[in-house]
Amino acid sequence: MCGIFGYVGRPANVGGMVLGALKRLEYRGYDSWGVAARENGHVAVRKQTGKIGGATVDLPAAAIGFGHTRWATHGGVTDANAHPHLDCTGRLALIHNGIIENFRPLRDELLARGHQFRSDTDSEVMVHLIEEGVASGKSLADATRAAFARLQGLNAIIAMDVTRNELVAVKTISPLVLGLGEGANYVASDSLALTEYTRDVVYLEDNQVAIIRPDEVTLLDLYSGQPLPLKRERVDWDAGDAGLGEYPDFMSKEMAEQGRVVRQIATGYAERARALADLIWGSYGTFLVGCGTASYAALTGMYLFSRIARRHVNAVLGSEFKYQEHFLTDRSLALALSQSGETADIIEAMVTSRGRGATIGALVNVRGSTLDRMADFSVPLGAGPEQCVLSTKAYTAKLAVLTLTAHTLAGTPEIGRELLLRAADELDRFLAGGGAARVRAVAERIAGAEHLYAIGRGLSYPTALEAALKIKEVSYVHAEGFAGGELKHGVIALLTEGTPCLVFAPNDETRDDILSGAMEMKSRGGLMIGVSPQDDPVFDIHLPVADVGDASPIVNALPAQLLGYHLARLRGYDPDKPRNLAKSVTVK
């Protein structure tokens, strides 16, 4: 989750450099931030709670420094708990992403030896362990190796020694990327923070230790200490793609880009869809694995493969997948869906799958991410940088790839392509033709609501779940999605007069049944908002969408995204940075 950026090189305005990089990583979500740099032979630290905004830091020019944005896990949101953390001497500093699961016994051990702790975090134990190693005569790298080997959990660590002018980085699962420059080198949690300075990167692998100095970067094996080769890669996307352009925020920009993304998949992914279809055809058990929004894309995929290709695939939550590993064999296909490619539960699920001999597939948006590199077969979503915490265009990209693949598996790839092209056109038309204004009017009418319910059946059931997630995570309106046939099994007890209810009613076999359920909700006071190609007397409000057949989940996602967006704006919330949430969930 945390944003990380470090620099070592020629003397520079390290404070400004680090703050700028951290602002490019704000999409990851955070509640406090801090910067550290060398000052008179010691570490100077500036840190505080809240967002960076227009903050500056009064640090001198320095040849080494790093910074961190924290999403609290252990210890409250306080200045003291913000990173970086210092050792007792003021010579060493540390930033950390992850959870040190055994920090309590380590902390007790260090306290007994006289170390003084300034925070309530699990992270601080690591800098004191490194301090002891350095005091015993070890190099920073060897001290960090020894300390990291004692940790339990999934972690990424960067240690800084200002007297030696070097950074040492090591990680397990949590992402770190090294940037290779001229007379300067860098490290970050995402290549997005590096492209202003270099396009040459090294993706740090698990249990590798990087020693970062101004003129060289060296890799060592965590356990043996033996040197490892650097695998240089080139970041090929334009950092300008990550800018706002004419848009007021990233959520509106990324919603508007969905037509382009779906069209790109329709016209350019035939070979990838064929290769993925062949993998599914050859597997004995296919599992679509995702977390949050990606899990609803996976669930939609389960319906798509059933209705289009007559093929059963399993949709599983990433965090629950390890409890179903007993079904996996060397003939299984575990297909992970992820925007970031760094979600800890997804990575753990794929590690479990590999241990059972399964083939690993990925639909992932970030090239070079942990998931992208570990997969046997990876399909890049090609959505471009997605910086709003809420996933929009990466979600519809996943749906597009799954739709095209299901039709390819069924022997009807041209039908899949035409459906996606129609869906792409309709996404653009909805935004340009007044659809956004209609949704805003709905948002204005229901902005004071405390609860909202969404219903769908069949292929629209996952859409209802995703719609509710989008609305609650950005506007903080309590929203829940339900299968339309489950209303009588308890759900209908929640309705009161005027409760807004989203009804997804495409022109498919579910229409009559879902309208019947909507009438039950309406008769109990619900305000019916129909997302449908056709109006119906049961709807109090109709949001017209095109009939695009099996691609309906792509088109129907947009009104729900817009509703969440406008509710957030009307209620005074930043749609890009919802509270308590992070874009890349790299802790379990």
Asked whether residue 518 is domain-assigned, the answer is yes
- Please give the tally of structural domains in the chain: 3
Judged by phi (left if over 0) then psi (alpha if -120 to 50, else beta), residue 581 lies in beta
CA nearest to 302, candidates 423, 459, 195: 459
Can you give the CATH number for the domain in which 491 is found?
3.40.50.10490
Residues 328 and 266 in one domain: yes
Is 410 in the same domain as 458? no
Of 416, 445, 461, the one marking the end of a domain is: 416
pLDDT number for residue 433: 85
pLDDT of residue 325: 82
Residue 187 to residues 334, 361, 537, Cα–Cα distance (Å): 31, 28, 59
Closest CA to 574 of 478, 480, 500, 476: 476
Sheet strands side by side (includes 541-544): 478-483, 451-456, 500-504, 527-532, 541-544
268 within some domain: yes
Query: Would you say residue 428 lies in a domain?
Result: no
pLDDT for the residue 582: 61
Q: Are residues 410 and 464 in the same domain?
A: no
pLDDT of residue 46: 93
| 388 is annotated as an active-site residue | no
CA dihedral 32, 200, 163, 189 (to 10 degrees): 20
What CATH number is given to the structural domain containing 68?
3.60.20.10
Domain contains 286: yes
pLDDT in tens, the chain (588 residues): 578 999 999 999 999 999 888 888 876 678 889 999 998 888 999 999 988 888 888 898 999 999 999 888 888 889 999 899 999 999 999 999 988 999 999 999 999 999 999 999 999 999 999 999 999 999 999 999 999 999 998 899 999 999 899 999 999 878 899 999 999 999 998 888 898 899 999 999 889 999 999 999 999 999 999 999 999 888 775 544 667 888 999 999 999 999 999 999 999 999 999 999 999 999 999 999 999 999 999 999 999 999 999 999 999 999 999 888 888 999 999 999 999 888 889 998 999 999 999 999 999 998 878 899 899 999 999 998 888 889 999 999 999 999 999 999 999 999 999 999 999 999 999 999 899 999 999 999 999 999 999 999 999 999 999 999 999 999 999 999 999 988 888 878 888 899 999 999 999 999 999 999 999 999 999 999 999 999 999 999 999 999 999 999 999 999 999 999 999 999 999 998 888 776 556 555
Q: For residue 342, what pLDDT is reported? A: 85
The answer to whether residue 584 sits within a structural domain is no
Domain ranges, residue 567: 433-574
What's the rounded Cα separation, in Å, for the pair 134 and 453? 57
156 in the same domain as 71: yes
Query: 485: which DSSP letter?
Result: G
Asked if 2 is an active-site residue, the reply is yes
Is residue 17 domain-shared with residue 143, that is, in the same domain? yes
Whole-number Å distance between alpha carbons of 36 and 57: 10
* 296/381 same-domain check: yes
- Look at residues 345, 381, 420 and name the one whose alpha carbon lies nearest to residue 586: 345
Residue finishing a domain among 236, 258, 281: 236
> What would the two tokens of residue 543 be?
């949001």
Question: Which positions ≥6 away from 108 have C-beta within 8 Å?
Answer: none
Segment 285-309, tens digit of pLDDT: 999 999 999 999 999 999 999 999 9
Helix or strand (DSSP H, E) at 185: strand 185-188
28: tokens are 């990851």
Domain-ending residue, one of 357, 385, 416: 416
How far apart CA 71 and CA 580 sit, in angstroms, is 8
- Label each residue of 3-38 as H, E or C: EEEEEEEEEECHHHHHHHHHHHCHHHCCCEEEEEEE
Out of 2, 291, 388, 501, the active site residue is 2
Any domain includes 585: no
The reported pLDDT for the residue numbered 116 is 94
Same domain, 548 and 511: yes
pLDDT for 153 equals 87
Largest CA distance in the chain: 80
Question: Residue 541: inside a domain, yes or no?
Answer: yes
Instruction: Say how far residue 562 (Cα) sits from the centre of its chain.
Output: 20
**pTM for the predicted model, two decimal places:** 0.80
The pLDDT score that the predictor gives to residue 584 is: 58
The CA distances from residue 50 to 36, 70, 340, in Å, are 17, 10, 24
Are residue 33 and residue 166 in the same domain, yes or no? yes
Strand stretches in 257-358, DSSP E: 286-290, 314-317, 333-338
The span from the CA of 369 to the CA of 344, in Å, is 12
Residue pair 64/86 in contact by the 8 Å Cβ criterion: no
Residues 161, 165: Cα–Cα separation, whole Å? 6
- Catalytic residue, candidates 23, 470, 577, 583: 583
Say yes or no: 211 and 305 in one domain.
no
Same domain, yes or no, for 154 and 59?
Answer: yes
Q: Are 388 and 442 part of one and the same domain?
A: no
What local confidence, expressed as pLDDT, does residue 317 receive?
94
Same-domain check for residues 464 and 326: no
* Residue 587 lies inside a defined structural domain of this protein: no
